Amino acid sequence: MTLIFGARCVDGVVLVGDRLVKSGRTVSFTMDKIRKFGNINWAVAGAAGIGTLFDEFLTLLPEYVIRHQQWINYQNAKLEHDREETFGNTPNAPEPPYYTYSVEDFKHNCAELMADMRKRYSFAFENPNKWCELQVLIGINTLSEAKLYYMDSESILPAEVPESVFIGQEDMCEVFRKCWNQSMTIKQAAQLGAFTIKYVELDKISDTVGVGVNQPQIWYIPDGSDPRELVGLELSTLIQQVDREKDLVYRKLHSLFRS
């Protein structure tokens, strides 16, 4: 499992993810669960579920994106060839209706991959205990207002998220999600997401969520700008503020009923 927070804020979209991966008895804190794909600079996606599923989704998605782009390039080359065959060097010859890779194409590639995985592992997905699930959050720069989308392996339908959401072990985090409000900036929402991940780990609420000695992944998608990951001093400064609040809340909560 995992824990990823996404929110649509007053100035854009933010995604925050933990880093813990468990495979059998092996534990790793190094995995990036929120990623860019191929040469698509305007979108990032994070996946949650059992480790083998979300790792496969994030690994295979670039192949689907590249294959779609190659199809577009091929079709555009055919259109250009047909134009030359029809008009030659005629001045002001009409331009053909060239294809471009769009936001909708990216969403369709995510849905196509999820549908293929559901078909490939149909026995696991149809298990009546519903232990097998894949969830995805997608943050996209639409050149004006950044958008956040959610999809899962049950409906395979990208749905816009106008507020905030946790995926993965979201059931244990509703109390933290309720701290979000519509007036928050992406920085404030990033602090809330990071606080939740680090508090869940500190208080041992789940042994499948955490960052170890690392820090949560944080991606900003400001309105009108491409996604960027917080790194270096910017990330460490934000996490220092989060750690102060996390430790304060932990001490207060665990001292309430002491004699």
Model confidence at 46: pLDDT above 60: yes
Confidence of residue 226 (pLDDT cuts 50, 70, 90): very high
pLDDT for the residue numbered 133: 86
Confidence of residue 25 (pLDDT cuts 50, 70, 90): low
203-218: buried (b, 16+ CB within 10 Å) or exposed (e) per residue? eeebebbbbeeebbbb
| Residue of 238 and 126 predicted with greater confidence | 238
Tokens (6 digits) for 236: 């460490």
Provide the mean pLDDT of the chain.
Answer: 91
- DSSP 8-state code for residue 29: S
Model confidence at 258: pLDDT above 70: no
pLDDT for the residue numbered 244: 96
Report CA 16 to chain centroid distance, whole Å. 8
CATH number of 3-253: 3.60.20.10
Model confidence at 23: pLDDT above 90: no
Model confidence at 24: pLDDT above 70: no
Counting runs of H as helices and runs of E as strands, what totals does the chain give? 6, 12
